[in-house]
């Protein structure tokens, strides 16, 4: 199966020209309509699932320090907090309170504007979230501790609740420990419900200016308005390529909403796969699924399929395409494509920059066979830096999670660069590599071929989550019983060695103080 770089480049350019495609906004709707039209031009019917939801989209926002003469000294806002809240149209002005000690300072912010530092989460061992299956090349590793904007905002969300409970009028969140250009435009966190309080983000340098203003007892003017719609429309859609086997299906999926050119460009990849498959005789029925709501997960999840991704609503509605009940298709494999063509940008010696290598491809594989199949397929690639993962501690990032939890074996591509949720004028296109995307789409084209020729019994089932214990993703010791035991042994050996060394030093010191002097050394003897 061939992959057209020209087609991919054309579709990427169109998608990125639309701008940020947040759930249900104008650009997102235009992108959905374009995708559907492209599929229908291929002669493939499109089936639509409509959804209505409460939409919130920031309109105007600003933060300014109020001078003694009433003048406003503007402070740069790095980004909005999704689905936070609104001020009156004229904004609000009040004293700024720096929440230095959360245990007591939140109470001081009652009826005022709170300023909260959000430090980069860089202390959680990567093995808490990730459990390694394989890697290619074999020496590929992740950082020892999982960090960055996404995990930081997903972990540190209680500031909003505390501010509301103590009656603050608004919140300014100050990034700490990440470069200013790294946090610019971060549309985070996107996994929370409507907050009911206006919230804005500022970078560390501008935040320090605000801390000085707060400590000087100054007031700030805070403005945030939003376009709100109680019955906003959006839709998921899917298409079907029938196979000779009328009992089994393979589901290839992604989502359509996202803030930049990599989040989410999975639909562009699916279009290309459809172009290559549409005229072939397939053994199994292939369902191509494009879901909405990934960036509004609190309203687009259904726990009846065991996870919280936007695919969950589609799965509940369309059990006939996957659950294997009487007269239903049984899904025997799932392929999920998200975030293709990512260059690695990271914080190196305090500077946010391109590292001259591709972003690590995180790939969840549903069982041992799927893992071996994926690794075997990527070995022939020109550019590859990948690690496969086992679902771990109920974590399986990306839109393949629901299929995994329902026992369907999958191969799910979900790289997680620092800029994954960044909104910017460029759409982060400077961080995108079309050649890498071509290789990744080519990998999944080969996987479709390989799965087509593989017996159902061999494909098997997903093997479920592992808990607590994990194979090391950082190149260190495995967080397993054997690894922990070896670590304990090494620790004990190290302590014993240290004790022996100390005893030896003490013994040598005592011996040096008590041994007879050399007779030839008479310098301190009386004449």
Per-residue pLDDT of 495-509, as tens digits, reads 545 555 656 665 566
How crowded is residue 500: how many other Cβ atoms within 10 Å of its Cβ? Answer: 10
511: confidence class by pLDDT, cuts 50, 70, 90: low
Sign of the alpha-carbon dihedral angle for 96, 100, 104, 106? positive
404: confidence class by pLDDT, cuts 50, 70, 90: very high
Cα separation, 57 vs 199, in Å, equals 13
Q: Residue 178 gets which letter from DSSP?
A: S
Cα separation, 121 vs 469, in Å, equals 21
- For the chain, give the number of residues: 527
Which tens digits make up the pLDDT trace of 377-387? 999 999 999 99
489 pLDDT above the threshold of 50 = no
- Rounded (10°) CA dihedral 76, 79, 83, 86: 10
In 3D, which of 142, 155, 125 has the Cα closest to residue 363?
A: 142
Residues 6+ apart with CB under 8 A from 27: 18, 19, 20, 21
The b/e string for 471-489 (b: 16+ C-beta within 10 A; e otherwise) is bbbbeeebbbeebeeeeee
Give the model's pLDDT for residue 513.
54
129: confidence class by pLDDT, cuts 50, 70, 90: very high
3-state secondary structure string across 364-430? EECCHHHHHHHHHHHCCCCCCCEEEEECECCECCCCCHHHHHCCCCEEEECCCCCCCCECCCCCCHH
169 pLDDT above the threshold of 90 = yes
Tell me the DSSP string of 233-265: EEEEEEEEE-EEEEEEEEEEEEE--BSSSSTT-
In 3D, which of 10, 21, 74, 375 has the Cα closest to residue 209?
A: 74
Cα separation, 387 vs 475, in Å, equals 12
293 pLDDT above the threshold of 80 = yes
Which tens digits make up the pLDDT trace of 132-149? 999 999 999 999 998 999
What's the mean per-residue pLDDT of the chain? 92
Tell me the DSSP string of 288-312: EEEE--GGGGGGS--GGGSS-STHH
Q: Contact 293/299 with Cβ under 8 angstroms? A: yes
- Three-class SS state of 141: coil
| Segment 467-492 mean pLDDT | 69
Element (H, E) at 337: strand 330-337
Cα separation, 266 vs 399, in Å, equals 11
| Segment 464-474 mean pLDDT | 93
Within the chain, how many helices (H) and strands (E) appear? 14, 19
| Segment 242-248 mean pLDDT | 96
Top pLDDT among 368 and 501 is at: 368
In a 13 Å sphere around the CA of 305, the CA atoms on its Cβ side amount to 26
518: confidence class by pLDDT, cuts 50, 70, 90: very low
Give the model's pLDDT for residue 308.
86
In 3D, which of 282, 286, 284 has the Cα closest to residue 245?
A: 284
Which tens digits make up the pLDDT trace of 334-349? 999 999 999 999 999 9
> Packing angle between helix 368-378 and helix 434-452, nearest 10 degrees?
130
In 3D, which of 309, 414, 402, 408 has the Cα closest to residue 367?
A: 408
193 pLDDT above the threshold of 60 = yes
Give the model's pLDDT for residue 28.
98
Strands 199-202 and 79-80, sheet pairing? antiparallel
Query: What are phi and psi for residue 184, nearest 5 degrees?
Result: -65, 125
Give the model's pLDDT for residue 358.
98
Top pLDDT among 454 and 167 is at: 454
**Which of 63-72, 234-243, 480-489 bottoms out in mean pLDDT, i.e. has the lowest?**
480-489
Top pLDDT among 1 and 254 is at: 254
Find tokens 């591509």 and name the residue. 413
């Amino acid at each position: 199966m061939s992959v057209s770089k020209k087609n991919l480049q054309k579709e990427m350019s169109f998608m990125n020209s639309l701008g940020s495609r947040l759930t249900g906004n104008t650009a997102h709707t235009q992108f959905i309509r374009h995708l559907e039209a492209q599929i229908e031009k291929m002669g493939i019917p499109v089936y639509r699932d409509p959804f209505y939801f409460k939409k919130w989209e920031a309109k105007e926002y600003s933060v300014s320090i109020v001078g003694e003469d009433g003048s406003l000294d503007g402070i740069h806002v790095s980004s909005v907090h999704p689905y936070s809240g609104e001020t009156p149209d004229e904004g609000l002005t009040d004293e700024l309170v720096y929440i230095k000690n959360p245990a007591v300072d939140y109470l001081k912010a009652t009826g005022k504007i709170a300023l909260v530092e959000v430090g980069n989460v860089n202390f959680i061992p990567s093995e808490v979230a990730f459990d390694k299956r394989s890697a290619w090349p074999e020496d590929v590793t992740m950082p020892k501790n999982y960090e960055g904007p996404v995990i930081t905002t997903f972990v540190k969300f209680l500031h909003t609740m505390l501010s509301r409970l103590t009656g603050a009028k608004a919140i300014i969140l100050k990034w700490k420990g990440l470069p200013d250009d790294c946090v610019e435009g971060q549309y985070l966190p996107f996994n929370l419900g409507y907050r009911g309080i206006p919230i804005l983000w500022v970078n560390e340098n501008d935040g320090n200016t605000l801390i000085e203003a707060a400590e000087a007892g100054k007031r700030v003017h805070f403005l945030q308005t939003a376009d709100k719609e109680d019955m906003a429309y959006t839709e998921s859609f899917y298409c079907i390529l029938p196979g000779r086997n009328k009992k089994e299906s393979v589901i290839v999926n992604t989502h359509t909403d996202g803030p930049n050119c990599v989040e989410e460009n999975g639909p562009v990849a699916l279009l290309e796969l459809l172009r290559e498959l549409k005229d072939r005789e397939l053994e199994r029925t292939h369902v191509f699924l494009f879901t909405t709501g990934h960036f509004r997960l609190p309203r687009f999840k259904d726990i009846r399929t065991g996870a919280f991704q936007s695919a969950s609503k589609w799965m509940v509605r369309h059990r006939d395409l996957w659950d294997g009940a009487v007269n239903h298709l049984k899904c025997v494999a799932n392929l999920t494509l998200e975030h293709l063509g990512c260059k690695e940008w990271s914080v190196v010696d305090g500077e946010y920059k391109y590292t001259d290598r591709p972003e690590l491809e995180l790939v969840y594989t549903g069982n041992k066979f799927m893992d071996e199949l994926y690794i075997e397929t990527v070995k022939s690639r020109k550019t590859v830096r990948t690690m496969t993962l086992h679902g771990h501690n109920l974590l399986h990032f990306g839109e393949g999670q629901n299929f995994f939890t329902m026992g369907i074996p999958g191969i799910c591509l979900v790289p997680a660069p620092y800029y994954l949720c960044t909104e910017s004028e460029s759409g982060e296109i400077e961080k995108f590599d079309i050649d890498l995307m071509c290789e990744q789409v080519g990998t999944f084209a080969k996987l479709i071929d390989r799965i087509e020729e593989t017996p159902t019994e061999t494909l098997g089932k997903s093997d479920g989550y592992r808990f607590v214990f994990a194979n090391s993703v950082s190149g260190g010791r495995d967080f397993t019983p054997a690894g922990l035991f070896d670590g304990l042994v090494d620790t004990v050996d190290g302590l014993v060695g240290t004790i022996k060394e100390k005893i030896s030093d003490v013994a040598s010191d005592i011996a040096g103080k008590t041994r007879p002097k050399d007779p030839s050394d008479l310098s301190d003897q009386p004449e």
